[in-house]
Chains A and B, each alone.
Chain A
Amino acid sequence: MTIKKFINTVFMTEILKGMALTFRSMLTPAITRQYPKVKRSAAAGFRGEHAFVRDPETGREKCIGCGLCGAVCPSQCIHIYTSEDPETHKKIVDRYEIELLRCVYCAFCVEACPVGAISLTENYEYADYSREALYMTKEKLLANWDKFMAGKKGEEYFKKFWHPQANDFAAYAGQAVFNHKPKVEGK
C-alpha cells in the first residue's frame, strides 16, 4: 500500500490520468456551436417572442378582448384597450400591447386565452437597440404569426402544447408509456 502510494506521489499518476482524459476528449468531435454563424433551432413549443393568431376565416385576429391574459400575467405586461361597436354592440379590440422587456415568458397568457388567440413563437432572436422595437402592437404581433407560425405549425402548436387537459381523457389514447425492460447489470 505504501509502495503504491509512493509511486503515485512520485509519478503523479492521478494527474497523468486526468491529462490522458483531456487528451482523449481532444480527439472527440467538438460540441460547441459558433453561434452567430451556426444557429440553433429551438424545440417545438419553445416559449419565445409572442404572436397573435390570425383567423384563417376572417383574416383578422381571434382576440375577443376579454382581458384574461392581462389578468393572469405575473409581470402585468399586457395592455388591452377595447371599445364597443355602436351597431353590433360587439367588443372591438382597439389596441393590444405587450411590453417584451417586462415579459417573463411563462406563457400563462396562452394558457388563459379561452379562444386560443395568442401564442409564443420559436423566435428567440429579437434583441434590439430601441425600446419601441420591443413594444409589441397588434399589427406587429399579427406579422409575427405570418412570419413564424402560419400554416400547419400554428395548428399543431395549440393541439400539442397548449391544452390544459384536466377532463380530457381521450387525449391520452396516444400517451407515451415507456416499455424498455430494465437492463440486468453484468457482474
Chain B
Amino acid sequence: MGEIEEKDIDQGKKLGTQELTLSMGPQHPATHGVLRLVLELDGETVTKCTPYVGYLHRGVEKLGENKTYFSALPLTDRLDYISSMSNNVAYVVAVERLFGIEAPERAKYLRTIMSEMTRISSHIIWLGTHALDIGAMTVFLYSFREREWLLDLFEQACGARLTVSYPRIGGVRNDVSKEWLDSLYRFTQEFPARVDEYETLIDQNRIWLQRTKGIGVISAEEAINWGLTGGTLRGSGVNYDVRKAFPYDAYDKVEFEVPLGSAGDVYDRYRVRMGELRQANRIIKQCIEQMPDGPVLAPDAPKFILPAKENLFKNMESLIHHFVLLTKGPLTAPAGEIYSAAEVPKGELGFYIVSDGTGKPYRMRVRAPSFIHASVLPRLCEGGLVADVIANIGTIDIVLGECDR
C-alpha cells in the first residue's frame, strides 16, 4: 500500500460512478415470502425499486371457476395463510350475498369472533416479524406466545390450526363448547396486558423510533390514489374501514373504534395496528357477552346447505340435495354478479363472483390487498435508504400467498 498519488485520483474522476443494481429476494428472509425487489442504488440511496411477484402463483382464481361454491372454500385458506379464517369469512359472506341467504345470528357472532381472533394473530405475527427485521428480537418471541394460544383455540374449535376452513356458506361448520368460550374470555382479559408488554419493549425505544419515524411517508390523498386499504391506509389518517362502511356479520352490533394515524409513516402505521389489537380484543369480548343461542347453519336454505346427516336415509329430498350439492353444486344459484368485501387484517379483501346459474362460479376474482400494497413499494422506497426498504416491506404488511394467488 503506497501513498495515493495525484494521478490515481484523476483516473477515478475519469471512470466516474455507476449505479449498482441489487436483486433482493426472492429468498431474502426479510421480504416475508417470495417477493423479489430489484433495487438500483446510488451509494446507500435507492433510486429505483421494481417489485417482481408471481413466485407463489397457484391459479386460485382459475381453480375457483372449476370447483363448486362449497369446494372452493379451502382455496381461500391459502390466500393469506396467516389469516385464513378472515379469508373464509370474506368468501362465504360474498357467496351468501350472491345467493341471498342469511346466516343465523349465532353463526354471525362466531364468525365475527373468529375474524377478530385472526386479526390479533395476524397483527402479532406482523409485529413480531416487522420488529425482527428492524432489529428488535424479543418482541418476536413474545408475540408468538400469544399466537400459540390463539392457534390452540382454533384447533379446539375446528380441528386445524392454520388452514381452518371453518365457516360454511350459511353459517359455520360446528358449534363451539362452553369451555371454549370461557377459555377465549380468559384470553381477552389477559391480552391487553400483553399488548402493553410489546409496547414497553419498542414503543419509546430510541432505535425503533429512529428506524420508523418519518420513514415511508405517504399522504392521505396519495394513499387513496394508490388504492391502499386497512392499516396501511389508516396510518395516513383516512377513516375507511369495511367493518364500519359496509358492515357484515355482527359488526354492526358491537362497539369499536377505528384507530387512525396522522403522519402516514411507518411509526403511525405501527400505532394503528397496535390500536387494532386492542379494538379486536374489545370486539371479541362484546361478542362473547352478547352471544345468542340457536343453530349455527341456516336451517331454511336446503338447496344451498348440506342437510342434516341423520335425515339422509329417512328423507328422499335430503339425500338428493346432499348428492347434488356435493357433486354439481347449488344448481338453483341465481345468475348475477356481486362484489363483496371484508376487512381482513391486511386490508380490504374483495371477492367478485359472477354466477351463470350453474353450480360453479363463472368467474371468481380476488381483490387481494397484499397485491395492491406491493405496488406501492416503489413509491415508498425510492429516494430512501436501502436499510429502510426492509422497514417499508414490513409496514405494508404483505403476504405473498395472497399477492400471487
Binding site for B on A (CB under 8 A): 8-9, 12, 14-15, 17-18, 21-22, 25, 31, 42-47, 66, 68, 71-75, 104-108, 111-112, 114, 116, 120, 160-169, 172, 175-178, 180, 182-183
Contact = CB atoms under 8 A, between A and B. Distances in A.
Contact of A161 (B142, B170, B174): B174
B159 interface: yes
Contacts of A43: 152, 155-156, 159
Interface stretch (B24-32, B39-47, B234-242, B299-307): B299-307
Contacts of A112: 322, 326
Given A104-B163, A114-B313, A175-B175, A165 B75 contact: no
A14 B311 CA distance: 64
Interface stretch (B177-185, B210-218, B222-230, B388-396): B177-185
A14 B206 contact: yes
**Which of B72, B178, B182 has the most chain A CB within a 10 Å cutoff?**
B178
Interface of B: 67-68, 70-75, 77, 138, 142, 145, 148, 152, 155-156, 158-160, 163, 165, 170, 173-182, 185, 189, 197, 200-206, 288-289, 291, 293-299, 302, 305-313, 319, 322-323, 326-327
B299 A169 contact: yes
A22 B326 contact: no
5 contacts: A18-B138, A18-B200, A105-B160, A106-B77, A169-B295
A167 to B, nearest CB: 5
Those 8 A-B pairs whose CB atoms lie nearest each other, nearest first: A176-B178, A14-B204, A106-B74, A47-B159, A164-B306, A168-B308, A43-B156, A45-B159
B312 A71 contact: no
B200 A163 contact: no
Contacts of B175: 165, 172, 175-176
B91 to A, nearest CB: 13
Contact of B67 (A15, A74, A166, A172): A74
Contact of A104 (B74, B185, B189, B205): B74
Given A106-B165, A165-B295, A116 B181 contact: no
B155 A46 contact: yes
Contacts of B326: 68, 71-72, 112
Nearest to A175: B293
Contacts of A169: 295, 299
Given A21-B201, A68-B322, A166-B306, 15 more contacts: A18-B138, A43-B156, A45-B159, A68-B326, A68-B327, A73-B71, A74-B71, A74-B74, A105-B163, A108-B71, A164-B309, A165-B174, A167-B307, A176-B178, A180-B288
A172 B104 CA distance: 13
A161 B159 contact: yes
Nearest to B155: A43
Contacts of A72: 68, 70-71, 326-327
Nearest to A164: B306
Majority SS of interface residues in chain A?
A: loop
A178 B289 contact: yes
Contact of A178 (B170, B178, B201, B202): B178
Contact of B295 (A15, A18, A172): A172
A178 B306 contact: no
A74 B173 CA distance: 17
A167 B308 contact: yes
A48 B128 CA distance: 29
Nearest to B165: A106
Contacts of A180: 182, 185, 288-289
Contact of B323 (A8, A42, A68): A68
B342 to A, nearest CB: 20
A21 B202 CA distance: 12
Contacts of B70: 72, 108
**Which of B72, B148, B296 has the most chain A CB within a 10 Å cutoff?**
B296
Given A72-B70, A175-B175, A178-B288, A15 B205 contact: yes
Contacts of B322: 68, 112, 114
A165 B327 CA distance: 20
A112 B74 CA distance: 15
A105 B77 CA distance: 11
Nearest to A177: B293
Contacts of A75: 74
A18 B201 contact: yes
A15 B204 CA distance: 8
Contacts of A106: 73-74, 77, 163, 165
B176 A166 contact: no
Nearest to B318: A167
Nearest to B322: A114
B385 to A, nearest CB: 24
Contacts of A168: 308, 310
A163 B172 CA distance: 12
B93 to A, nearest CB: 18
Given A21-B201, A180-B185, A165 B296 contact: yes
A71 B323 CA distance: 10
